[in-house]
Amino acid sequence: MDEQTTRNLPSDLFIGGRWVEGSAGERFDVLNPADQTQLASVASATVEDAIAAVDAAESAFSDWAERTPRERGEVLRRAWELIMADKERFARLITLENGKPLSDARAEVAYAAEFFRWYSEEAVRNRGEVMHSPASGARILVQHKPAGIAVLVTPWNFPIAMGTRKIGPALAAGCPVVVKPASATPLTMLALMSVLEEAGVPAGVVNVVPSRSSGKIVDALLHDPRVRVISFTGSTEVGRTLLKSAADNVVNPAMELGGNAPFIVCEDADIDKAVEGAILAKMRNIGEACTAANRFFVHEAVHDAFADKLSARMGAMKMGNGLEEGVEVGSLVNADTRNKVAELVEDAVGRGAKVLTGGKMPEGPGYFYPPTVLTNVSPDSRCVAEEIFGPVAAIQAFADEDEMIALANATEYGLVGYLFVGDMKRGLAISERLEYGMVGLNRGLVSDPAAPFGGVKQSGIGREGSHEGLMEFLETQYISLDW
Give the residue among 323, 152, 119 at the shortest CA–CA distance from 251: 152
Q: CA 150, 436, 354: angle at the middle one, nearest 5?
A: 115
Report angle CA 96, 37, 20 to the nearest 5 degrees.
70
CB 367 within 8 A of CB 325: no
How is residue 329 annotated by DSSP?
Answer: B
Return d(Cα 419, Cα 319) in angstroms, integer: 28
The secondary element (H helix, E strand) that includes residue 207 is strand 206-208
Q: Are 388 and 292 in contact (CB under 8 A)?
A: yes
* C-alpha to C-alpha distance for 404 and 169, rounded to whole angstroms: 38
Active site residue 290: yes
Angle between helices 69-85 and 161-173 (to 10 degrees): 160
Q: Which neighbouring-strand residues pair with 232?
A: 153, 255
Alpha-carbon distances of 209 from 22, 50, 94, 278, rounded to whole Å: 9, 7, 18, 37
* Kind plus residue range of the DSSP H or E element containing 49: helix 47-66
Strands (E), 363-468: 372-375, 392-398, 416-420, 438-441, 460-461
Measured distance between the N- and C-terminal CA atoms of the chain, rounded to whole angstroms? 69
* Catalytic hit among 290, 328, 383, 387: 290
Q: What angle do CA 388, 336, 165 make, to 5 degrees?
A: 65
383 is catalytic: no
Among residues 97, 114, 122, 256, the one annotated as catalytic is 256
- Measure Cα distances from 314 to 70, 156, 303, 332, 482 in Å: 47, 24, 16, 16, 67
Q: Can you tell me the distance from the alpha carbon of 334 to that of 331, in angstroms, rounded to the nearest whole number? A: 8
List, by residue number, the catalytic residues.
Answer: 256, 290
